[in-house]
Amino acid sequence: MREFEFTKAPINWIPATILVATPIAAAIITPWYLFTHDVSAPVWGVFGAFMVWTGISITAGYHRLLSHRAYKAHPIVKNFLLLGSTFAVQGSAFDWVSGHRTHHRHVDDRLEDPYSAKRGFFFSHMGWMLRNYPSGKFDYKISLT
Ligand SMILES: [Zn+2]
């Protein structure tokens, strides 16, 4: 029965549209823009800084600081990481922490892990966002394991 719920999970239209359209648009628009415009060094610098900031914010912020409580941080650092995580467009801290703690609690369980690698590489990285799977329901009361 639970496996049936996975195969018949309704499409999550807004994230699915964004996740499909964005890489297609980027693959077309980015080369065109770079070919037809001069991009100055400061713009590349800001791009690089945002890549580093958002990447560190997800890793050190949403993941290690909030999901695992691996360390304590000064409120300025915490807010810096939360802002960077917001720019990373990976959803709210509440949703991210809930999903990640559920993932660790049921790691690689086909039905309980929201990002189960047992469902394949694509599912564990992107597929889980395309449909409203039963394992994707958020539990904001889930604690550290
Ligand atoms: Zn983790």
- Please write the tens of the pLDDT for every residue from 71-107: 999 999 999 999 999 999 999 999 999 999 999 999 9
Write the single-letter amino acid at 119. R
Question: Are 131 and 10 in contact, with CB atoms under 8 Å apart?
Answer: yes
Single pTM value for the model: 0.86
Rounded to the nearest angstrom, the distance between the alpha carbon of 90 and the centre of ligand 1 is 15
What's the mean pLDDT when you consider all of the chain?
A: 93
Residue 142: per-residue pLDDT: 82
What separation in angstroms does the CA of 28 have from each of 14, 36, 39, 89? 21, 13, 17, 21
Residue carrying the six token digits 């699915």: 16
What string of pLDDT tens digits covers the 145 residues of the chain?
577 777 789 999 999 999 999 999 999 999 999 999 999 999 999 999 999 999 999 999 999 999 999 999 999 999 999 999 999 999 999 999 999 999 999 998 988 999 999 999 999 999 999 999 988 888 888 877 6
Q: How many CB atoms lie within 10 A of CB 54?
A: 19
Residue 145: per-residue pLDDT: 61
Rounded to the nearest angstrom, the distance between the alpha carbon of 34 and the centre of ligand 1 is 37
Rounded to the nearest angstrom, the distance between the alpha carbon of 124 and the centre of ligand 1 is 14
Q: How many CB atoms lie within 10 A of CB 96?
A: 20
Rounded to the nearest angstrom, the distance between the alpha carbon of 97 and the centre of ligand 1 is 9
